[in-house]
Amino acid sequence: MNTKPTIRIDVVSDIVCPWCYIGKRRLEKAIEDTQSSCNLQVIYHPFQLDPSVPTEGVDFQSYMENRFGAGFSQKFRQVEQAAETVGLDFDFENLPKSINTFVFHRILTIALHENIQAAVKEALMKAYFVDRIDLTIEQNIVDLMSQFGWTAEKTIDILHSDEGSDEVKEEMHYFRQQGISGVPFFIFDKKYAVSGAQPSEVFSQIFQELLQEKQVQAVSGDVCDIDGENC
C-alpha cells in the first residue's frame, strides 16, 4: 500500500513563454529529487501572453521587432543561456512564427481529461522552441498528436470545434481575477505561490516544507483546545 503524501502543483503558463519552459525544467529537477518522498501531481492551466496574435500567426522576427525593437535577439541571449543550463536549445532568430495559443490550451484541457496533459505540454513546447516547428500548420499538429494515439480525424475535428473553449476562458478569467499577470506561476497545494522560473532549490525547499507539514498532520491526535469544545 502506497502511503506517501501527495503534493499538488498547479502551473499557470503559456506554451510560447520561454521562461515557462525553463521553469518547467527547473520544477522537474526538484520533482526528480523529491519523488521518493512523496507523490507529485502537476496540472497545467492556460494563460495567453498575447491573445491578439492572429490564428494564422505572424512572422516571428517582425513580431518581436515590433514588440521589443530592433536587435531583440541580443536582448534575449540571456534567455537562451538560461535555457542551455537546463538542456534546452533555444534560438530566437530561427523561430518561424509567433502564434496564437488558444487552440493549444484547448488541446491541453482535453489532454488533462485523458491523463496525458504533462506529456502533451512537453511535446508542444519542444515543438515550438526546440524543433522550431510551425504550429499554425494543421498537419504539423496532426503529426504531433499522433504520438498520443490521436487520429488525424480526431485532431482535425478538435481543431475545427469549440471543445474546451469555455473551460479555457473560465480558467484564464479566474487566474486574471487572482491577480496573475505574468507566467510561469506555480501554486503548491493551494497554499504556497511562486512567481517566475525560480531555481530548482526554491521548489525543493517548498516541497520539504509541505512534507513536514503533512507529517505533523499525520501524527496529530485528540487534543483539548482553548475553546473547550473537545474537552
225 in a structural domain: no
Report the range of poorest mean pLDDT among 34-38, 44-48, 50-54, 169-173: 34-38
Alpha-carbon radius of gyration of the chain: 20
Which three cell numbers, joined as nine digits, stand for 124? 508542444
**107-116 burial code (b ≥16 CB/10 A, e <16):** bbbbbbeeeb
Per-residue confidence band for 228, with pLDDT thresholds at 50, 70 and 90:
low
Tell me the C-alpha distance between 204 and 136, whole Å. Answer: 37
Q: Which helix (H) or strand (E) holds 210?
A: helix 200-218
Per-residue confidence band for 220, with pLDDT thresholds at 50, 70 and 90:
very low
Instruction: Using the predicted structure, report yes or no on whether residue 25 has a pLDDT greater than 80.
Output: yes
- Tell me which of 122 and 214 has the higher pLDDT: 122
229 in a structural domain: no
195 in a structural domain: yes
What is the average pLDDT score of the chain?
A: 93
pLDDT at position 206 is 96
Q: Which helix (H) or strand (E) holds 31?
A: helix 18-34
Report the candidate in 87, 82, 104, 77 with the shortest Cα–Cα distance to residue 16: 104
- What pTM was computed for the model? 0.91
Tell me the C-alpha distance between 206 and 202, whole Å. Answer: 6
Which three cell numbers, joined as nine digits, stand for 62? 517582425
189 in a structural domain: yes
Q: What are the E-state strand segments in the chain? A: 6-13, 39-46, 58-59, 97-98, 185-188, 192-195
Instruction: Using the predicted structure, report yes or no on whether residue 68 has a pLDDT greater than 80.
Output: yes
pLDDT at position 226 is 59
209 in a structural domain: yes
1 in a structural domain: no
Phi, psi of 186 (to 5 degrees): -115, 135
Tell me the C-alpha distance between 221 and 22, whole Å. Answer: 42
Report the candidate in 48, 8, 35 with the shortest Cα–Cα distance to residue 181: 48
- Tell me which of 182 and 224 has the higher pLDDT: 182
Instruction: Using the predicted structure, report yes or no on whether residue 217 has a pLDDT greater than 80.
Output: no
The identity of residue 35, as a single letter, is Q
pLDDT at position 131 is 98
Tell me the C-alpha distance between 100 and 173, whole Å. Answer: 17
Tell me the C-alpha distance between 47 and 44, whole Å. Answer: 10
| Domain span holding position 24 | 6-218
- Which residues, in sequence order, are CB contacts of 157 under 8 Å at separation 6+? none
End-to-end CA distance of the chain: 35
Instruction: Using the predicted structure, report yes or no on whether residue 191 has a pLDDT greater than 60.
Output: yes
Instruction: List, for residues 77-100, the tens digit of each pLDDT value.
Output: 999 999 999 999 999 999 999 999
224 in a structural domain: no
Report the candidate in 18, 17, 98, 20 with the shortest Cα–Cα distance to residue 52: 98
Q: What is the CATH number of the domain that holds 113?
A: 3.40.30.10
* Number of domains, the chain: 1
In contact, 86 and 53? CB cutoff 8 Å: no
pLDDT at position 71 is 81
226 in a structural domain: no
